[in-house]
Amino acid sequence: MARQNRIDTKLEIKQVALHLFLEKGFTNVAVSEISKELGISKGNFTFHYATKEHLLTELIKDLCEFQWLVMEREVENNNSLMAYLFELATMAGSCYNNPVAKDLYVSAYTHPMSLRTIRENDTEKAMRIFGTYCPNWKEKDFVLAENVVSGIEYAMFVTEHEEKITLDEKITATLDAVTKIYNVPEDVSEEAMKKVLIMDYRKIGQRILGEFRDYVETLNQKELDEVAVQKNRR
């Protein structure tokens, strides 16, 4: 990607940083390393992203959108409840025996800015999906519920694998807790969870971040193309 202006530089930072995060882990990559990889100064980096956490927040916003697109593609009959539960399962599958993926998700749920983005995204999603089961809830109720749900999701990521607890059991416990919070009838949640657990969530989880990297590259190129069109019109 030839750098021509500030937009190019910002997109390059985002793209190169994601490559490094997925290679070494978010925690292990410093701003200086990203800057060196791009041949820019640290000041140039901070002009576009005040901190590494600001960059993470923008990437997580894109990741939330991308993951949902994948979930809707994978589940049958556009079942939004199954898509929601399957997303949690694939995230757990992504972190399973993959320290780099785990580091990215744990970091996203640890830093306040990226966590706020996740909560805002998931609150809006929960209102669409679980509104039928919570007819008397107001937006504030969904916000409060998401504060608890995001904590449950975080616990799913950070819990170390134990010989006596399988990944399926950990995912089942997480999905059961979340559906109970949103008042999903037991028979409905059990049927959805059974279908989720027989889907190949591990395989999708293992490849989703690689596909996300390609997705970000596509988004960047689309933005550059739009900028070029606007310049030609002047």
| Domain chopping of the chain, boundaries | 1-50, 56-211
Confidence class of residue 162 from pLDDT cuts 50, 70 and 90?
A: low
Over the stretch 180-191, which tens digit does the pLDDT of each residue have? 999 999 999 999
Instruction: Give pLDDT tens digits for 92-131.
Output: 999 988 999 999 999 999 999 999 999 999 999 999 999 9
CATH topology for the 1-50 domain:
Arc Repressor Mutant, subunit A (1.10.10)
CA distance to 60, 133, 152, per residue, from 147 (Å): 17, 18, 9
Q: What is the pTM of this model?
A: 0.91
Given a cut of 80, whether residue 233 has pLDDT beyond it is no
